[in-house]
Amino acid sequence: MLDIRSCPSSVQSWLTLKHSISNTLDDLVAISLKPAFDIGLVLFALGYFGFLRWVKTRKTFKQFRWQRSLPSIFLGILFSGLLLLSTPGLALAYQGLVSLVPGDTGETAEAIVILGRGEFLAPQRAETAATLWRNQRAPLIFVSGNHQEYLKIIHELKLRQIPDAALDGEFCSKTTEENAEFTAKTLFPRHIRRILLVTDPPHLMRSLLTFQSMGFMVLPYPSPLPDALNRRQKTMLTLQEYSGLLSYALQGRFFPREMPR
């Protein structure tokens, strides 16, 4: 029986901020998916470049060029943000996330680590990990996530005939940072450092950098997103990852750090 009371307390301020950011992104995504958004973006672009041309030809304030350029800089930042939310912008953003992750080398590891990211992604993760285990890429499958994700993924793995002796995990983590920290605290004492890291493609880059910073030797392996995932859900995953990458980078979570005890 899992006892979640044994789990350490999460940083509620970060979880609250994460929830707030997610809600804001969801509202932006809902707007960006409407056809009128792309039409408005085109009109905005025409107006923006027309404004730049007008500013360039103006003789007023020539002696204060930095003042003259401020409006164009502001509009340029706004235009870049709107472009990111457009259909082609989001497609490029998604490719930017997944293309930077190293491909599979076929090497073996000491454990396969599956990260929870919602119960709806559990079947794909379990299937990916089970295939790796059957191909003898690692002798152990370690599940890291909150207790509901943990139970769901373990259930899916058992449906695929993975024996109990090959299963382990932790059910306390609520963030990618905690995934890496709690996994390290469990696996390092067992001298397990080399892992196959399984999560969805958008999440893989941040997970790879975070686990490496904890001292793991990481072989990233993507688990496909469900076919039933709609455009809005895929867009949300992409935007959440960019905000997560920025947040983790600002907090220094991608630099090597002291091993957890």
Mean pLDDT of the chain: 79
Residue 178 pLDDT greater than 90, yes or no: yes
| In the predicted structure, residue 81 carries a pLDDT above the cut 80 | no
Summarised one tens digit per residue, pLDDT across range 190-234 is: 999 999 999 999 999 999 999 999 999 999 999 999 888 777 777
The answer to whether residue 238 is domain-embedded is no
Same domain, 80 and 110: no
For residue 200, being part of any structural domain is answered with yes
Whether the pTM exceeds 0.85: the reply is no
Q: Is 234 exposed, middle or buried (0-12, 13-18, 19+ CB in 10 A)?
A: middle
140 and 226 assigned to the same domain:
yes
61 part of a folded domain: yes
d(CA 86, CA 38): 6
Query: Is 164 part of any domain?
Result: yes
Residue with tokens 């599979």: 104
The residue type at 94:
Y
On whether both 115 and 223 belong to a single domain, the answer is yes
Q: Is the same domain home to 222 and 121?
A: yes
Q: Are 80 and 147 within one domain?
A: no
Residues 222 and 156 in one domain: yes
Evaluate whether residue 251 is within a structural domain: no
Which domain, by its residues, includes 225?
106-231
Domain match, 34 and 112 both: no
47 vs 223, higher pLDDT: 223
Residue with tokens 């958004």: 37
- Looking at the structure, tell me whether residues 80 and 115 fall in a common domain: no
> Is residue 35 located within the same domain as residue 75?
yes
Q: What percent of the chain has pLDDT over 70?
A: 66
* pLDDT tens per residue across span 126-167: 999 999 999 999 999 999 999 999 999 999 999 999 999 999
- For residues 25 and 125, what is the distance between their CA atoms, to the nearest angstrom? 25
Closest Cα partner for 119 from 78, 93, 150?
Answer: 150
Domains contained in the chain, number:
2
